[in-house]
Chains A and B, each alone.
Chain A
Amino acid sequence: MLGPSTTWYLAVAAVLFGIGTTGVILRRSPLIVLLSLEIMLNASNLALVGFSRHFASVDGQVFAISVMAVAAAEVCVGLGLIVAFTRRKMALDVDTLTELRG
């Protein structure tokens, strides 16, 4: 098998996932939160592709592609929400957007 071993792929994926999680938890701008979510999704894609390569099976790649499709759809909704917030001149701060409080 050419290239680095699967462990490295997983390590990079774990680091990316950690960065993404941290971003979601710490950042307050919804735009950045979305970006961080994308990083998390791509971390999992990387892991899927890594495993796919490890087991010499395309299943993981198939999943990665469907994750990308879902991510694209999710970004559309998220960006749409952000545009709507901006139009209504609402603060782009997830800590103040608490209308769904029980």
Chain B
Amino acid sequence: MMAGAWLCLLAPLAGALLITLAGTHISRSTAALISTGSVFVGFAGAVVAFVKVAGQSPDNRENLSTAYTWLGVGQFKVPMQILVDPISLTMMLIITGVGGLIVWYSIGYMKGEDEERRYFAYMAFFVFAMLMLVMGGNLLLLLVGWGLVGLASYLLIGFYHDRPEAVAAAKKAFIMNAIGDATMALGLFLLIAKTGTLDFSTTFYDASTGQLSSSTVNLVALGLLGGAVAKSAQLPLHTWLPDAMEGPTPVSALIHAATMVTAGVYLIVRTHSIFEAAPNVQHLSAIIGGVTIVVAGVIALVQWDIKRVIAYSTMSQIGYMFMAAGIGAYGYAMFHLMTHAFFKALLFLSAGVIIHHLAGEQDIRRMGGLRKVMPYTHAAFLVGALALAGIPPLSGFWSKDGIIASALAEGGALGYTLVAFGLLGALLTGAYTFRLYYLVFHGPPSDLVLEHSGGHGADDVADHEAHGHAEGPLSMLIPVGVLTVLAAIGGLLVIPGVWEPFLNWIDSAVEPLVTPTVAQEYATSVVAVTIAAVGIWLARRAFREARELVADGAVRTTLEHKLYFDEAYDALFSRPAQLVANRLRDDVEEPIVQGSLGEIGAGVSEVAGGTARLQSGLLRSYALVIAASVAVLVVVFVAVR
């Protein structure tokens, strides 16, 4: 069983290394096949491990496998080990399964792109890094994966390295993530200082039995939360995610929807013992999630870039997962993580099909009427959008409503506030998703759409289809099709009160703190679906009346500036730092450091010039000096004695 898990971890690494080392000896399509194949081999390994673990008794599904001692400093030892339990298996299946589909999709999407091989090596490397993160059997390996994932994301966002915006976005993502990495590392240092180890079991045991002081636990939990917030693009470290859309679309689907951004949720669920020992910090994460749901939702209402709308929606949906993890509804957090991976990857990939079809256009103002030109993509996108909005029986409905119901079950001021956030989020989700859907797919075809559908209008679509799928290459359409099915039926793993295998599966690894009653589930569902339908209706009405959901004015301007987060960070951090740096350069570096260097050089050179004159090259004078010196030494020696 462990062989399957190790295979899952190492296959993508081997794929990445093979493509890198083979360089130009392999063709571009071979590189693509190696990359896709290695990720699917990883998926097979994960399935093998899953079957074995699912057969184990629910109380004993924690499988730790140690390869060797990776690091040892005195008493502090870190083994290279992997942990295979329901949480990491769920993540492994999502990462390699959805990831494999996305890499496969990339074959068509990236065709003809320069440096395809580099792209596929990065993709396989990313999958490896993400697996390292979720499979790492102790906190240090988790941090290793955390850092590698940040690196892979930097490389992939900046893949178009000749585009300044892409390079800037890559740097922004890296720096924002580095803030989180730093707080997380500080938390781990504190943990090492207090417990002397980074083992999951030991640290969790110490945290849950109160062996650590409450301030320690709070600080460690805050550090971990900082890492989670940065990686998952939650407020206030979220500004990198929309910019990260500069990367290729499959990258957005893989990193910024399906896998990497959910790492924060995984971290909270994985280290739940620490968070439970610091309930205030755990509730803080729920509140951060709740606020992010609403903030990202309102910003998404006014965006014009198809990928940015989906990016803000990702932030918002991860807000739900944070909310669930923050109140201890771990099963629902993981469930929403999974269904979100399905429908958000689907939305990104269908958006990618559209962008590919329209030769790179991402502005939804230039789209329209695509429903008849691209019927297959339209159907896929609609399924994704309905799943995102939480319309039954699609996947998003089951998971999102479960989270809101859990908040209701939590009760108290916190619980009801979160319910309010969640329901408001449902309204916003319906509104922004269907604003996007109507603008892209409905109405008369725009000039751009007509141009790219071969100059003929909707009448010739049948002719179009007769020539196979003109919407894109099959390698793009098949993954979209698979994801459409998953997004449609993925939610049926949890039907409250009837059939809850997914929740039981996760609960066998981590006991939830709140469990909503069946009545709460269905009551929430009715309300949430109604609210989402209102959101959809608002979007539809606005589209019919050819107006925007948010009218022009101060509110719209604020939203278009994304609530001025970038401007605020610029004024608060970037500008003062630049000011200090400039002052230091002008007042310290140039006059003192550089000036003194010149002076020191001149002085040394002068002294050396004087000394050099002593070196006459006259052998006999050297001999005389030596003899005289020895004589003097002898005299001194004798005299002193």
Distance of A24 Cα from B626 Cα, bound (Å)? 11
Say yes or no: is B24 at the interface (Cβ < 8 Å to chain A): no
| Total interface residues in chain A, CB < 8 Å | 14
Distance of A21 Cα from B131 Cα, bound (Å)? 80
Contacts A94-B620, A95-B620; is A25 near B627 (CB within 8 Å)?
yes
Query: Is chain A's interface secondary structure helix, strand, loop, or mixed overall?
Result: loop
Is there an interface contact between A24 and B623, defined as CB atoms closer than 8 Å? yes
The closest CB in chain B to the CB of A99 belongs to B617
Is there an interface contact between A28 and B620, defined as CB atoms closer than 8 Å? yes
The distance from the CB of B157 to the nearest CB of chain A, in whole angstroms, is 59
Neighbouring B residues of A94 by C-beta, 8 Å? 618-620
Neighbouring B residues of A101 by C-beta, 8 Å? 615-617
- For B624, give its contact among A25, A95, A97, A102 (CB under 8 Å): A25
Is there an interface contact between A98 and B616, defined as CB atoms closer than 8 Å? yes
Say yes or no: is A56 at the interface (Cβ < 8 Å to chain B): no
Cβ contacts A76-102/B at 8 Å (1 or 0 each): 000000000000000000110111111
Is there an interface contact between A25 and B615, defined as CB atoms closer than 8 Å? no
Distance of A98 Cα from B613 Cα, bound (Å)? 13
The closest CB in chain A to the CB of B630 belongs to A21
Q: Which of B612, B618, B619, B627 has the most CB of A within 10 A?
A: B619
Is there an interface contact between A100 and B617, defined as CB atoms closer than 8 Å? yes
Q: Which of A50-70 contact B (CB under 8 A)?
A: none
Query: Is chain B's interface secondary structure helix, strand, loop, or mixed overall?
Result: helix
Distance of A96 Cα from B613 Cα, bound (Å)? 17
Say yes or no: is B413 at the interface (Cβ < 8 Å to chain A): no
The distance from the CB of A77 to the nearest CB of chain B, in whole angstroms, is 15
Distance of A16 Cα from B620 Cα, bound (Å)? 19
Neighbouring A residues of B611 by C-beta, 8 Å? 102
Neighbouring A residues of B612 by C-beta, 8 Å? 102
Distance of A33 Cα from B618 Cα, bound (Å)? 13
Neighbouring A residues of B623 by C-beta, 8 Å? 21, 24-25
Is there an interface contact between A100 and B620, defined as CB atoms closer than 8 Å? no
| Total interface residues in chain B, CB < 8 Å | 13
Is there an interface contact between A25 and B617, defined as CB atoms closer than 8 Å? no
Is there an interface contact between B619 and A33, defined as CB atoms closer than 8 Å? yes
Neighbouring A residues of B624 by C-beta, 8 Å? 25
The closest CB in chain B to the CB of A33 belongs to B619
Q: Which of A28, A98, A99 has the most CB of B within 10 A?
A: A98
Say yes or no: is B638 at the interface (Cβ < 8 Å to chain A): no
Cβ contacts A29-48/B at 8 Å (1 or 0 each): 00001000000000000000
Say yes or no: is B639 at the interface (Cβ < 8 Å to chain A): no
The distance from the CB of A81 to the nearest CB of chain B, in whole angstroms, is 12
Is there an interface contact between A21 and B616, defined as CB atoms closer than 8 Å? no
Is there an interface contact between A21 and B620, defined as CB atoms closer than 8 Å? no
The distance from the CB of B446 to the nearest CB of chain A, in whole angstroms, is 82
Distance of A100 Cα from B624 Cα, bound (Å)? 17
Contacts A102-B611, A102-B612; is A21 near B618 (CB within 8 Å)?
no
The distance from the CB of B533 to the nearest CB of chain A, in whole angstroms, is 94
Say yes or no: is B600 at the interface (Cβ < 8 Å to chain A): no
Say yes or no: is B604 at the interface (Cβ < 8 Å to chain A): no
Is there an interface contact between B614 and A102, defined as CB atoms closer than 8 Å? yes
Interface of B toward A, CB cutoff 8 Å: 611-620, 623-624, 627
Interface of A toward B, CB cutoff 8 Å: 21, 24-26, 28, 33, 94-95, 97-102
Known: A21-B623, A98-B618, A102-B612. 19 other contacts (CB 8 A): A24-B620, A24-B623, A24-B627, A25-B620, A25-B623, A25-B627, A94-B618, A94-B619, A94-B620, A95-B620, A97-B617, A97-B619, A99-B617, A100-B615, A101-B617, A102-B611, A102-B614, A102-B615, A102-B617
